């Protein structure tokens, strides 16, 4: 945990809470070694999460692209109106 605290910008209690959440969700395995607790990532939950997100990405990316294009079109229209009404 000390190594993680040194790397991330949160305190030891925050790192401890996050590791507990990951452990509860079976994303990490904890192995006590003397006074230390060693954390190891479990790859399977990450694979499952990736597969879930990939399925939804196919649905949402085109929609978000269309929304982005519409927002850009509206921004250009607003800019054009502003330039043509400023005198």
d(CA 24, CA 68): 37
Res 64: pLDDT: 95
Q: Is the pTM of this model over 0.75?
A: no
Q: What is the pLDDT along the chain (87 residues), one digit of tens a residue?
A: 778 888 888 899 999 999 999 999 999 999 999 998 899 999 999 999 999 999 999 899 999 999 999 999 999 999 999 998 875
Residue with tokens 């945990």: 1
**In Å, how far from its chain's centre is CA 61?**
16
Residue 27 DSSP class: S
- What's the confidence (pLDDT) of residue 87? 56
Going by their DSSP bridges, the two strands 36-41 and 28-33 should be labelled as antiparallel
Task: Report whether 28 contacts 42 (CB < 8 A).
Answer: yes
Q: How many helices (H) and strands (E) does the chain have?
A: 3, 2
pLDDT computed for residue 1 by the predictor: 73
């Amino acid at each position: 945990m000390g190594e993680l605290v040194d790397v991330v910008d949160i305190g030891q209690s925050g790192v401890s809470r996050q590791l507990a959440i990951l452990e509860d969700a079976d994303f990490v395995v904890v192995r006590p070694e003397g006074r230390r607790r060693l954390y190891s990532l479990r790859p399977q939950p990450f694979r499952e999460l990736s597969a879930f997100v990939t399925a939804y990405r196919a649905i949402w990316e085109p929609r978000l692209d269309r929304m982005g294009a519409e927002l850009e079109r509206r921004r250009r229209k607003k800019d054009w109106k502003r330039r043509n009404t400023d005198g």
